[in-house]
Structure 1
Amino acid sequence: MKKQQAIILAVFCTWFSMTEIYSQSTQKHAPLFSKVVYQGDDQVYKDYPLKEGEFYNPILQGCYPDPSITRKGDDYYLVSSSFAMFPGVPIFHSNDLVNWKQIGHVLDRPSQLKVHDAGISAGIFAPDIIYNPHNDTFYMITTQFAGGFGNIVVKTKDPHQGWSDPIKLDFGGIDPALFFDDDGKAYVVHNDAPDEGKALYEGHRVIKLWEYDLDKDQVIAGTDQTIVDGGVDISQKPIWIEAPHIYKKDGKYYLMCAEGGTGGWHSEVIFISDHPKGPYKPAPGNPILTQRYFSKDRKNKVDWAGHADLVLGPDNQYYGVFLGIRPNEKDRVNTGRETFILPVDWSGEFPVFVNGLVPLVPKLKMPQGVENMTAGAGFFPNGNFTYEEDFSSEKLDYRWIGLRGPREEFISMTNNGLQITPFETNIKEVKPTSTLFYRQQHNHFSFTATVDYKPASEKDLAGIVCLQSEQFHYVFGLTKKGNDDYLILEKTEKGESQVLASTKIEIKGPVHLQVKARGDEYEFGYSTTGGDFVNLGGTVSGDILSTNVAGGFTGCLLGLYATSANNAR
């Protein structure tokens, strides 16, 4: 017996010793990022400087699509889609609809968000946030295409204090939204396919409604019904009626939906009824928001407007948040779908987005009595701005996200910067990666990172990445070949990778890596002295970082990347 115990103890000690050696080795070869500078330089903001009483639109630049908004008293909360980004569903707070602070993420725990094996454009779609005054509770309902979830709802009494674990909902389709009537009754509306055998054309969808049991947090079986079939006029074969929201005003019920798909035919439409269950009649003036009728080469183009949500503003006027895109000079979408806002005129029977049916402009007038503080500390910036990060704060800025898994599994905050412990996973795999991402927010920008790193083998690489998806990206990083250190630029398109350029480099201290873009043209450079950057690879096309080429639903993500499974040679 003692002999067996001795053997077990010896094996354990050997295992512990090897684990400790591996851990120390991993830490030794973990890159340390000591400074990051992101700088936006879009011409539109130079041509349209802000005057007193103005603010910029979009209010959230970069990949913050499918916005939803709610209000409790003087507090406004806004959320957007996050797909396979982790944590999921960024949430913002404002008291005036102009100045926003990110207060965290709704889904910030692995028990809430199971996207570890999801492609970047799977995961969380179209979250809807709403406050129920009858039980003083906030709800966020969404579709999670991962982890066996489907449609889910989470709740909280205070959005600043975290949210419940998900409750799986017993219905299909996507884009669910809740509505609470004056009598306390609750309903869910969502996009779905027509009943089996009833689809008339490609893109034919319906809007369904269910009664919702607030005590059980579940739809009531057998209460589902179709309230819109196809869209405003099914004889015109409208496509992708989705993102429904119900509002009540002056005793009438209004159903607002996106129609036309998230692309060039996107729009927002409205219906009216005397009862939450319908029948719903479309407004004669639909659409109430779109950018689809204008010249494709218009200056400072904003396009794809739709997927909206309404809220009563602090000035007692309605406002609508919605998604739109600002393509580059080659009409490519690298920054993703962004969050815009417009005042809404609801003085008549139907709401209409003010100037939402003419080409959108970069600036808006602020609600009366509001001061623009978006350049101040803590508020989400817009326009052209510079964001500097030295990772010296105790808490990581909410704008930094992971992909498919928690950031805490690979980052460590040190006195000298942020250390990334590399996973044995590379950026091409549909797995959690040891990469910390920041969204590209301008068509013209630079992103510079200082990294202290000495690769140990060809399997080790650390640097920066520009990523549209696991199949479309650039990697610019330090690795090893034989006894020499190299800096390489690798392009991956449709999952096929090639090294565009490489150079032997003598690493004597921190290396500064940079990517800068002028619309569709991206350049990568490095400096070992802190002086001028040396270009590597010339000018490369940003086409693979666009939605147009790569597909999917995200914008370009700029990452601090490390891997012990490098296969770029």
Structure 2
Amino acid sequence: MNHAHQFTLSDAARAADPRDGFYSNPIIAGDYPDPSVLRDGDAYYLVASSFVYYPGLVVWRSTDLVTWSPIGPALTVPLGSVYAPEIVKHEGRFYIYAAVRAVPQMPAPDGAPRPPIATYVVHADQIEGPWSEPIDLGIHNAIDPGHAVGEDGKRYLYVSDGTLIPLADDGLSRVGPDERLYDGWDYPADWEVETFALEGAKIIRRDGWFYMFSAEGGTAGPPTSHMVVVARSRSISGPWENCPHNPIIRTRSAAEPWWSRGHGTPLEDSSGAWWMIYHGYKNGFRALGRQPLLEPMEWTADGWPLATGGDLSEPLHAPNGPRSDGGLPGSGPIDERWFGPRMTFFKPGRGYLDRIRFDGESVTLQGQGGSPQDASPLVINTGDTAYEVSVELELVGPVTGGLILFYNEEFFCGIASDQERIRSYHLAAENPYEAPTPAIGRTLHLRLVNRGQVGSFYYSSDGMTWTLHRSYEVSGYHHNVAGKYLSLRPAFFAAGEGTLKMRSMNYTPLQSLEAPSPAS
């Protein structure tokens, strides 16, 4: 598949154009949390947590740090929930390290039980791949690996809780015991945060110092939770000295446009300027997940970093360098190019790639399970606060096909049809109080309008005259309520033994304050 395209879909990203010398956040619209960024010459590469969405670990490319094009996924084998990856280049080879939590729907190839959590690595000689099969490093007690090369030339991972783990020279196995060397920074006891949660270490070396940029405060919870703290040492093994003006990034008020800002990767661009890429929730829209944000950074005379972007409420001066060209527009037909970077399966089993077939103007989806809960829906990652999704469905054989808003197996809502009746779902169950609505045939049209965090679901026999079936308020479908660090996504599903043929699949961003178009 060809994934070499670009899209930017959020309201904020349309507010400023890097070609005019300014940019607005997010730099990639949608739920792409825990960003790790690598500069290789004049190009930059980014990966983010993909959790239980597959294909996973999509690699993104940019030449200006603002406009990003997905190259393709580095992980297609469903291992579990993929946390906080780290992308690095060492001696000409690319590596991605990530922690993976075991998920029952994703068993090991040999059927053997997996540890509850394990750190894996994939590697490639070219950034475009092919990427290796995932390798278990034997690290089963930590998350958020951060790669570093010490003053001794040896390779290491710093993991959660400030623990250092030596790696073999090829970076594909551990070669020594854990050693906890950094305790983090003590923030004031009266700060409103989720939890301490020292994690997400990113290590750079500058002017004879190792600098560790870490996350603290918890990734969700109150808007003021997350933060970026810094420490430095002359040795990779410490001792570590905390920055006197920690935290260098934090949401200080719920009035700011981005909440829970944290988990940052620092990097120097090709002109010598410094930047920080991290994530945050859009104010009032936690259901969209955590989106990648870019902020300029400077260094003090005594060698400490300072973030200089403020609360990100205003457009910022864009980095120097050649501008990246876009490819895929932010609206219009959904096709094969969206699969991987934008459209993925939720908790798929092995062989999930065989369930989907792209045939020019249609997509065929093989049924699975009996409801959205076990059907492994095909979900769309979006950063828009308001949008419309529409599709024409053809039911082939014994299948229930639908269009839903999906967070996880316990939090979803939407509409579907089999050959007997229209069905509606709310909070992981069919609505038991709804009067039966007869099906309108093997072919029907469905439409979702999500605006004001209210999802309205329509059906039609011809795609022109629409009937509003149900509307649901969905602002609470997010991690603080449902856990698992996911986001609410429009999704298609096929349940049963038959197949679902989908035509005229379209995604359209809407203005948040517009009234819905008439459905008559």
The count of aligned residue pairs is 468
Distance 1:39 1:255 in 2: 31
- The correspondence for 1:461, drawn from 375, 378, 400, is 400
What is aligned with 1:226? 180
Structure 1 gap ranges (5+): 1-37, 116-122, 192-205
What is aligned with 2:474? 542
Distance 1:244 1:61 in 2: 24
Distance 1:500 1:63 in 2: 33
Q: Report the residue type matching 1:518 in the other structure.
A: R
C-alpha deviation, 1:534, in angstroms: 1.8
CA contact (8 A) 2:36 2:86 kept: yes
Mean Cα displacement is larger for which, 161-170 or 469-478? 161-170
What is aligned with 1:137? 93
CA 455–363 in structure 1, closer or farther in 2 if over 3 Å, else same: farther
What is aligned with 1:560? 492
Q: Secondary structure at the match of 1:228?
A: coil
1:351 aligns with 2:295: no
Distance 2:168 2:8 in 1: 48
Q: Secondary structure at the match of 1:334?
A: helix
What is aligned with 2:462? 529
Distance 1:68 1:498 in 2: 45
What is aligned with 1:178? 147
Q: Report the residue type matching 2:385 in the other structure.
A: N
What is aligned with 1:439? 381
CA 297–177 in structure 1, closer or farther in 2 if over 3 Å, else same: closer
Identity value in percent: 24
> Where does 1:242-253 land on structure 2 (aligned, <5 Å)?
242-253=199-210
C-alpha deviation, 1:496, in angstroms: 8.2
What is aligned with 1:399? 342
C-alpha deviation, 1:212, in angstroms: 1.9
C-alpha deviation, 1:365, in angstroms: 2.0
Q: Secondary structure at the match of 2:353?
A: helix
TM-score, scaled relative to structure 1: 0.76
Q: Report the residue type matching 1:189 in the other structure.
A: Y
Distance 2:50 2:272 in 1: 31
Q: Report the residue type matching 2:46 in the other structure.
A: L
CA 168–367 in structure 1, closer or farther in 2 if over 3 Å, else same: same
CA 531–361 in structure 1, closer or farther in 2 if over 3 Å, else same: same
- The correspondence for 2:49, drawn from 65, 71, 81, is 81
What is aligned with 2:79? 114
- The correspondence for 1:507, drawn from 434, 438, 441, is 441
Distance 1:437 1:225 in 2: 40
Q: Secondary structure at the match of 2:58?
A: strand
- The correspondence for 2:422, drawn from 476, 487, 493, is 487
C-alpha deviation, 1:273, in angstroms: 0.9
What is aligned with 1:164? 132
C-alpha deviation, 1:270, in angstroms: 0.2
CA contact (8 A) 1:502 1:536 kept: no
Structure 2 gap ranges (5+): 1-6, 103-107, 109-113, 499-520
CA 520–398 in structure 1, closer or farther in 2 if over 3 Å, else same: closer
> Where does 1:374-393 land on structure 2 (aligned, <5 Å)?
376-378=326-328, 385-390=330-335
Q: Secondary structure at the match of 1:408?
A: helix
Distance 1:370 1:352 in 2: 25
C-alpha deviation, 1:359, in angstroms: 2.2
C-alpha deviation, 1:470, in angstroms: 0.8
CA contact (8 A) 2:381 2:489 kept: yes
* Per-residue Cα deviation, 1:86-109 (whole angstroms, up to 9, x for no partner): 11111101122122110111112x
Distance 1:316 1:422 in 2: 52
Distance 1:290 1:39 in 2: 25
TM-score, scaled relative to structure 2: 0.83
CA 155–49 in structure 1, closer or farther in 2 if over 3 Å, else same: closer
CA contact (8 A) 2:460 2:466 kept: yes
CA contact (8 A) 1:440 1:555 kept: no
C-alpha deviation, 1:443, in angstroms: 1.6
Distance 1:144 1:340 in 2: 24
1:275 aligns with 2:235: yes
CA 278–403 in structure 1, closer or farther in 2 if over 3 Å, else same: same
C-alpha deviation, 1:415, in angstroms: 4.6
What is aligned with 2:267? 311
Q: Report the residue type matching 1:554 in the other structure.
A: L
Distance 1:446 1:270 in 2: 42
C-alpha deviation, 1:246, in angstroms: 1.4
Distance 1:377 1:60 in 2: 14
What is aligned with 1:56? 24
CA contact (8 A) 1:488 1:499 kept: no
Q: Report the residue type matching 2:181 in the other structure.
A: I
* Per-residue Cα deviation, 1:330-369 (whole angstroms, up to 9, x for no partner): x3511111111112112541112222xx322263321235
C-alpha deviation, 1:79, in angstroms: 0.2
* Per-residue Cα deviation, 1:55-98 (whole angstroms, up to 9, x for no partner): 23111111111100112212211000011111111110112212
What is aligned with 1:33? none
CA contact (8 A) 2:200 2:214 kept: yes
CA contact (8 A) 1:324 1:337 kept: yes
Distance 1:45 1:339 in 2: 11
CA contact (8 A) 1:490 1:499 kept: no
Q: Secondary structure at the match of 1:213?
A: coil
C-alpha deviation, 1:145, in angstroms: 0.8
- The correspondence for 2:198, drawn from 212, 237, 241, is 241
More helix by percentage:
1
What is aligned with 1:188? 157
Distance 1:207 1:261 in 2: 15
What is aligned with 1:427? 372
What is aligned with 1:361? 313
CA contact (8 A) 2:167 2:176 kept: no
Q: Secondary structure at the match of 1:423?
A: coil
Distance 1:550 1:501 in 2: 29
